[in-house]
């Protein structure tokens, strides 16, 4: 019987949350400081409302974003849809009284997998996949083409099938649209499920035109198709 390798840190299965601010680099220093503060407040609020102990998470700050590894053993049927819902709600609340130059817009990705906490960060294919989905063309195009979009979130195919397609916590799985992500320069290819959340006021003002098709992919649905409840009775709210 082979003795365990004590030099290998434990591999622990964790939920992975990656977020990144859109347009951060265009701000001056003072606005970047304020934006970072608002991002931290937003993530604290999301964790608190979802019942996640933020102090028990592993965290890697990135200035204009954050990589958050949630504690093991969470109720995923509660935590995963809760994260999606609370990210949308928290963004809307933070942005309520902010002008266009200050409001937060986020790309985000959710995945799960084995993570080793190493001497210089995290060792994990799951973390790499979450970061690839975060940087995927489909999310970047959504944010650049849809000014009213506050949150463009990608969920791994595995996590969608395990949790989100079952409608836990009333989150409609039809709010997610499936796409193929191909990033040849990164030697990465994977299916993902995309969720978009919009500012109702900007939708009502007509600031969310349909998005053009992606290469070798179906077009993203219109805001009306993704969130028909925002357009009932001709209202954007």
Q: Is the pLDDT of residue 71 over 90?
A: yes
List the CATH code of the domain at 11-206+213-234.
3.30.70.1230
Q: What is the DSSP letter of 55?
A: G
Which residues lie across from 110 on neighbouring strands?
17, 155
pLDDT 10s digits, 193-227: 999 999 887 776 654 444 444 444 445 555 555 55
pLDDT 10s digits, 2-42: 555 667 889 999 999 999 999 887 777 888 888 899 999 99
CA–CA gap between residue 58 and residue 66 (Å, rounded): 11
CA–CA gap between residue 43 and residue 24 (Å, rounded): 17
pLDDT 10s digits, 22-32: 988 777 788 88
Q: Is the pLDDT of residue 237 over 60?
A: no
pLDDT score, position 24: 85
Domain chopping of the chain, boundaries: 11-206+213-234
**Can you list the pairs that 158-166 forms with residues at least 24 positions away whose Cβ atoms lie under 8 Å?**
158/111, 158/112, 159/80, 159/110, 159/111, 159/112, 160/193, 162/76, 162/112, 163/76, 163/77, 163/80, 163/81, 164/80, 164/81, 164/84, 164/193, 166/77
pLDDT score, position 197: 95
pLDDT score, position 2: 59
Signed CA dihedral, 61, 62, 65, 66: sign only? negative
**Which tokens hold the place of 38?**
């608002």
Q: State pTM to two decimals.
A: 0.84
């Amino acid at each position: 019987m082979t003795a365990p390798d004590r030099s290998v840190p434990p591999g622990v299965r964790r939920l992975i949350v990656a977020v990144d601010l859109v347009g951060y680099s265009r701000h001056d220093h003072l606005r970047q400081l304020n934006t970072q503060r608002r991002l931290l407040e937003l993530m604290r609020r999301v964790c608190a409302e979802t019942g996640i102990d933020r102090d028990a998470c592993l965290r890697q700050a990135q200035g204009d974003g954050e990589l958050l590894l949630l504690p093991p053993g969470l109720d995923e049927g509660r935590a995963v849809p809760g994260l999606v819902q609370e990210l949308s709600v928290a963004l809307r609340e933070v942005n309520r009284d902010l002008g266009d130059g200050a409001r937060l817009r986020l790309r985000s990705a959710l995945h799960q997998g084995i993570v080793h906490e190493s001497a210089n960060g995290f060792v994990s294919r799951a973390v790499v996949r979450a970061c690839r989905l975060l940087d995927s063309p489909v999310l970047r195009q959504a944010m650049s083409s849809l000014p009213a979009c506050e949150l463009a979130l990608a969920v791994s195919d595995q996590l969608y099938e395990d949790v989100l397609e079952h409608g836990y916590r009333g989150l409609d799985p039809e709010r997610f649209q499936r796409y193929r992500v191909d990033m040849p320069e990164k030697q990465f290819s994977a299916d993902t499920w995309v969720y978009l959340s919009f500012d109702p006021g900007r939708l009502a003002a007509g600031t969310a035109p349909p998005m053009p098709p992606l290469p070798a992919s179906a077009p993203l649905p219109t805001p009306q198709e993704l969130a028909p409840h925002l357009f009932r009775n001709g209202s954007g709210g």
